[in-house]
Amino acid sequence: MSIPKLLLLTGTSPDEPGVGGVWLRDILGLFPPDRLACFAVAAPGDGRCTRGLGNRFDTCAYPCAYPQTWVQGRLRRGLHAARLAWVRGWRERALVARVVSLARGQGVERVWAIPERPHMFRIAREVSRALCCPLYATIWDPPEAVAMTHHLDRLSTDVMLRDFDALMRGLVACSVMSEGMQARYAPRYGVRSVILRHGIDEALWMPPGPRPQSDERLMIGFAGTANGPGEWRALVAALNSTRWKLDGRQVVLRTLSHSICESTPAEAHIEHLGYRPLPDVVQHLSDCDILYLPFFSEPAWRVSADTVFPTKLTTYLAAGRPVLYHGPPRSAVERFFERYPAGLCCTSREPREILGALRRVAGEPGNYRRMTAAGEAARREELSAEVFRRRIAELFGFDTDLLTVPGEASMRVNGHILRDSPARRTPRQRAEPPARR
């Protein structure tokens, strides 16, 4: 049995530096070069990854057509609604025709959609219908979160939710991010689902830390986007209240992201390292003592809290350090920690509760060792590159051995060796001198 020819249809370019780009590059690296074509309904990236795909990749920018919450007045809303109708009609027909042309030229047999933007729910369904191909989907976020993220107004949200409903009813199978998401969609749509979380190659894993690095300093690590600015502000306020001291230790907050949350005061003790490639992120986080994971606790984000598994948690556990989750109770992360107690959950924005949670993680050696040991079990059983590979094969129903093994996939994108690229090498490899040619 061979892998059917797939069309990966996504709203993110594989060249993008964020989490979506990391996912897509790892997916591309798993498949043999002749088994996967890709179309990104997104602005083109820098081309470092997609150049290797040749005529099996195409991209097209999609205009922001959905009326948004800050559009005021009946006339302006009416004009935006008219533009939405025009784009969903003429513009989307042209875009779908372009995707179908690529797919037919490549002999595509199945469509795999990652519909993380509002327009993708409808486009994926139309492409599958035009090709008469089975449709599969990977759901990263619930549609309610997509609407919130893109600031859609009520009319646009209703349209998008209908598109999502139609997409789900037409799927052969889908992958979801958590047990909560699986429980939400499986009975509603009767679709077979597989839990697919991003997995990191074991070559990047750092050994579990048995204790904090120092008795004089407490380093809190954070990577990516602060999905919970209210929680972030509460953490900073709690540390400000003790002048960034905790039981005699100087507290430092190390951030690895494009920017720091705009509400962070200038006097905060922050070591901002900016955006770094994944191997560097894992290494820098492993030098920290606690890894901070905030999430929105506002009621509007309740569905997201129940269903979303933050991909940064995979990165955090690869670093071998315990996690402080700061967000609402009964969340997908909290349920994951019930199975793998790799961190502690703080569900309050009160300084006393936040500081108490930090003390319980960093100040109790037995707790620390138990958390890092649970993190080791979690990444081996749920968050490895091998599990990622196996569940992709399960989603489509073919043999796992047909996909590239994780060690090779981390250094290859569809036949193009990236072994000497600093962004794709392990920390140990980057420390070695380059081989002579």
Residue 255: pLDDT over 70: yes
| Residue 1: per-residue pLDDT | 67
Domains detected in the chain: 6-195 (3.40.50.2000), 203-381 (3.40.50.2000)
Q: How many CB atoms lie within 10 A of CB 312?
A: 23
Q: What's the pTM?
A: 0.86
C-alpha distance across the termini of the chain, in Å: 39
Residues 6+ apart with CB under 8 A from 99: 7, 9, 39, 41, 58, 123, 127
| Cross-strand partners of 35 | none
| Residue 411: per-residue pLDDT | 42
The pLDDT confidence band at residue 94, using thresholds 50, 70 and 90, is confident
Q: Which of 222, 191, 376 is nearest to 312 (CA)?
A: 222
Mean pLDDT of 260-289: 83
Residues 6+ apart with CB under 8 A from 40: 10, 11, 12, 13, 14, 50, 57, 58, 59, 60
The pLDDT confidence band at residue 202, using thresholds 50, 70 and 90, is very high
Cross-sheet strand order for the sheet of 192-195? 57-59, 36-40, 6-10, 110-114, 135-138, 173-176, 192-195
Amino acid present at 388: F
Amino acid present at 303: V
| Residue 356: per-residue pLDDT | 96
pLDDT tens digits, 159-188: 899 999 999 999 999 999 999 999 999 999
Half-sphere exposure of 352 (CA within 13 A, CB side): 0
| Residue 164: per-residue pLDDT | 96
pLDDT tens digits, 400-432: 998 987 655 444 443 343 333 333 333 333 344
Decide: 145 and 164 in contact? Cβ < 8 Å: no
**Residue 88 Cα to chain centre, angstroms:** 27
Residue 277: pLDDT over 70: yes
- 118-123-125-127 Cα dihedral, nearest 10 degrees: -160
User: In angstroms, rounded to a whole number, what is the distance separating the alpha carbons of residues 323 and 194?
Assistant: 26
**% residues pLDDT > 90 (the chain):** 60
User: In angstroms, rounded to a whole number, what is the distance separating the alpha carbons of residues 437 and 21?
Assistant: 31
| Residue 77: per-residue pLDDT | 60
Q: What are phi and psi of 12, to 5 degrees?
A: -125, 135
Quick one: which H or E segment has residue 142?
none
User: In angstroms, rounded to a whole number, what is the distance separating the alpha carbons of residues 203 and 318?
Assistant: 10
**Residues 105-138 as b or e (16 or more Cβ within 10 Å = b):** ebebebbbbbbbbbbbbbbbbbbbebbebbbbbb
Mean pLDDT of 192-216: 93
